[in-house]
Amino acid sequence: MFTYVNGQVIPNSEVRISPFDHGFLYGVGVFETFRTYDGRPFLLGEHLNRLNQSLQELHIDLQVAREEMLDILAQLEEANGWRDAYIRFNVSAGEGDIGLQTAPYQKPNVIVFQKKLAPAGPMTEKRGVWLETRRNRPEGESRLKSHHYLNNIFGKREAGSDPSIEGIFLTEDEFVAEGVVSNMFWIEKGTLYTPALQTGILGGVTRRFVMDIARDTGLRVEEGLYTPAEAEAADEVFVTNSIQEIVPLRALGEKTFPGAAGEAVQLLFKQYRSAVRQ
């Protein structure tokens, strides 16, 4: 298997970074995860915009052009032979002296990982569990998709290794936040609800896209501060991320839901897959 590192596609066994990289030492780095469908990256422009905005906020002196990203993906596809794949586009600050740095990082490390995925199949289900681990507050004004992932790791440890279970964080004030690796949604009486960004959640690319297609299908969309009881009172519940797409929950806490049989989630999933094909 091959990975892209600073202009070269090399075997995974040869990938190296300096221990003085501030992405390693201090967590100064960001990444985007998305998938390719038959060689086509989905929502690439949205992921690219978020990546470049995050790089600017971290004072990492790099802006990635769409053409550059497409060229990197083409190189990886040629090397690995995978047209359906998970992509992690990672940028770390690069090498620096020991100690916190205020000057911009001018020589970042760009590492793009690819992992083979099966062609997109039918919608899957999960069971949601409320976590005792609370969602931490963002390090800055808003949450970045950064190297600082300890809160997610602690949440995943609590939820366990079963891939059919998604742990759901609450905020310190006990409002619904997001999943360990997902954004959270539920539907009740024709309205799609999702926690607001002010809860400290990641502004997911797939989250925004699902809100858009929900409006197109006639659903009202509302963001806000919600309690677990409000989520459990819903008709349907689901989570989203760029790799797993739309994943309905068959249960949340002690409450059961229609899961993949839900009418609204089926409609949204159909619209999502239609966009992928286009």
Q: Under CATH, what is the fold of the domain 2-116?
A: D-amino Acid Aminotransferase; Chain A, domain 1 (3.30.470)
Coil, helix or strand at residue 133 = strand
Beta bridge partners of 195: 224
Three-state DSSP class for 53? helix
Q: Encode pLDDT of 209-246 as tens digits.
A: 999 999 999 999 999 999 999 999 999 999 999 999 99
Residues of the chain with CATH 3.20.10.10: 126-277
Q: How far apart are CA 58 and CA 267, in angstroms?
A: 39
What is the DSSP pairing of strand 40-41 with strand 176-179?
Answer: unpaired
Instruction: Please give the helix or strand (H or E) that residue 126 lies within, else none.
Output: strand 126-134
pLDDT tens track, the chain, 278 positions: 999 999 999 999 999 999 999 999 999 999 999 999 999 999 999 999 999 999 999 999 999 999 999 999 999 999 999 999 999 999 999 999 999 999 999 999 999 999 999 999 999 999 999 999 999 999 899 999 999 999 999 999 999 999 999 999 999 999 999 999 999 999 999 999 999 999 999 999 999 999 999 999 999 999 999 999 999 999 999 999 999 999 999 999 999 999 999 999 999 999 999 999 98
pLDDT for the residue 278 = 84
Planar angle of CA 52, 53, 59, nearest 5 degrees = 90
Q: Where in the chain is the domain with CATH 3.30.470.10?
A: 2-116
Contact 248, 260 (CB under 8 A): yes
Give per-residue pLDDT as tens, 14-52.
999 999 999 999 999 999 999 999 999 999 999 999 999
- Superfamily designation of domain 126-277: D-amino Acid Aminotransferase, subunit A, domain 2 (3.20.10.10)
**Alpha helix locations (H) across 179-262?**
205-216, 228-232
Mean pLDDT estimate for the chain: 97
